[in-house]
Each structure stands twice: as C-alpha cells, then as structure tokens.
C-alpha cells in the first residue's frame, strides 16, 4: 500500500505540474482510498486534500472514492460505517456509476472482516461476485476472501505481483493490524 500511495502522489504532482486538475483530483482520490486501508496517520489529511481538489472539478466517481476512503478509515469502529455505506450505495446507484459499487463493497468487506462479522463477510462476497461477474474488478472477490481468511471458492485468475499466498497474508495482516490498532481518533475498535 505505501508504494501504491507513493505512485498516486507522484501522479498527482505530475498532473498539478501540467495544470491537469481533474487528473490531480483523481490521483489524490485514489491515494486517499489506498491509504485508508492502512493505519497511516496522514489519512485524514489525504482525504481532506482529495475533497479540496475535487471541489475544483466535476468528477463524481472520484468524489465517491474519497467518501469510500472515509469509510475505510473508520472500518472496524462504531462510527456508523454500515449506515454510511447504505447511503453511499444508494447514491452510487442513483449516479449510474455502478462500477464504483465494487470499491464500496470491498470497503464493506474490510469493515466486516475487522469486526469478524461472518454474515456481513458472506453478504459482501456475494455482492462482489455479482458486481464483478463481467470480469471488471474480479480480483476483488479474491481479496475479500484473503481479508476474511477464507479459502477461495474458485481459483483466482488474477496475475498478482507477488505469490498469491504473500498477497493473501498482506491483506489479512491489514485486517489484523486494524483490530489491534484502530484508526487514530476513531471510536471503539473491533473485538
């Protein structure tokens, strides 16, 4: 995640250098989304910067990504994550940007995994399967299994940069780390 976040920072800086406000805002939205999975203490600032950059352009998907990042930041806490996710799901449905729904569902899976909510995990994985059946973001289903420490129902066709077991361990570690060290400033952490 830190390397991915760094790549998005570089992309944002390059876009700003060339006066590409939309590209800068999208890169920042993705940076905030990426960092929100981690305990990085700058996540709040990165979300705020994303909101600031998006106020200058009209990029609905990127705006939703930043709002999903805020959910990720709060995952595993009692800050109304599930209610906020339902509101976002309705907005995404209304917007017609249904491809964003997969990112939201991945965030929900992360929350459920941190809370060890098996029913929530199963529901999220089923929704992810439905959302990715056309092949876009299909690897999210494998990531959801990894986060929840579940075996894959079917083999993943994703081409991982590392061995699949390493990727599994990295995603699971993020869940365990969040249980042990809830996001700074959040309410209560998960059990």
Structure tokens at 150: 């579940």
pLDDT per residue as tens digits for the range 63-99: 999 999 999 999 999 889 999 999 999 999 999 888 8
Report the pLDDT value the prediction gives residue 183, as an integer from 0 to 100: 66
Alpha-carbon Rg for the chain, nearest whole angstrom, is 16
Asked if residues 95 and 60 have their Cβ atoms less than 8 Å apart, the reply is: yes
Report the pLDDT value the prediction gives residue 51, as an integer from 0 to 100: 97
Count of Cβ atoms closer than 10 Å to residue 88 Cβ: 21
Query: Which tops the pLDDT comparison, 123 or 187?
Result: 123
Report the pLDDT value the prediction gives residue 182, as an integer from 0 to 100: 74
155 to each of 144, 151, 159, 172, how far by Cα in Å?
13, 10, 12, 18
Question: Comparing C-alpha atoms, which of 27, 36, 173, 183 is closest to residue 103?
Answer: 36
DSSP codes, 73-91: HHTTSSSSHHHHHHHHHHH
Asked if residues 158 and 142 have their Cβ atoms less than 8 Å apart, the reply is: yes
Q: Taking 70 as the threshold, does the pLDDT of residue 187 lie above it? A: no
Question: Comparing C-alpha atoms, which of 136, 170, 164 is closest to residue 152?
Answer: 164
Report the pLDDT value the prediction gives residue 155, as an integer from 0 to 100: 87
81 to each of 12, 71, 170, 176, how far by Cα in Å?
28, 6, 23, 18
pLDDT per residue as tens digits for the range 93-103: 999 888 899 99
Residue/partner pairs of 56-63 with CB below 8 Å, 24 or more apart: 56/21, 56/25, 57/21, 57/22, 57/25, 59/22, 59/25, 59/26, 59/29, 60/95, 60/97, 61/26, 61/97, 61/99, 61/100, 62/25, 62/26, 62/29, 62/30, 63/29
Mean pLDDT (the chain) is 92
Q: Taking 50 as the threshold, does the pLDDT of residue 110 lie above it? A: yes
- pLDDT above 70 covers what percent of the chain? 95
- Looking at the chain, the number of H-run helices and the number of E-run strands are 9, 0
Q: Looking at residues 38-67, what average pLDDT do you find? A: 95
Q: Looking at residues 20-26, what average pLDDT do you find? A: 97
Q: Looking at residues 169-179, what average pLDDT do you find? A: 95
Report the pLDDT value the prediction gives residue 184, as an integer from 0 to 100: 54
Report the pLDDT value the prediction gives residue 121, as an integer from 0 to 100: 97
């Amino acid at each position: 995640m830190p390397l991915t976040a760094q790549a998005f920072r570089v992309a944002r800086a390059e876009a700003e250098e060339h006066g590409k406000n939309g590209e800068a805002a999208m890169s920042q939205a993705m940076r905030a989304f990426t960092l929100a999975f981690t305990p990085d203490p700058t996540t709040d600032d990165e979300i705020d910067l994303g909101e600031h950059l998006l106020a200058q352009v009209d990029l609905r998907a990127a705006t939703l990504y930043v709002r999903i990042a805020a959910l990720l930041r709060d995952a595993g806490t009692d800050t109304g994550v599930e209610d906020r996710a339902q509101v976002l799901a309705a907005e995404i449905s209304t917007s017609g940007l249904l491809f964003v729904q997969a990112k939201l569902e991945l965030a929900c899976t992360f929350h459920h995994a941190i809370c060890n909510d098996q029913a929530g995990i199963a529901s999220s994985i089923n929704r992810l399967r439905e959302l990715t059946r056309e092949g876009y973001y299909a690897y999210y289903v494998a990531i959801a299994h990894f986060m929840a420490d579940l075996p894959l129902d079917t083999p993943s066709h994703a081409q991982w940069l590392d061995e699949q077991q390493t990727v599994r361990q990295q995603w699971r570690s993020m869940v365990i780390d969040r249980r042990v060290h809830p996001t700074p400033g959040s309410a209560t952490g998960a059990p």
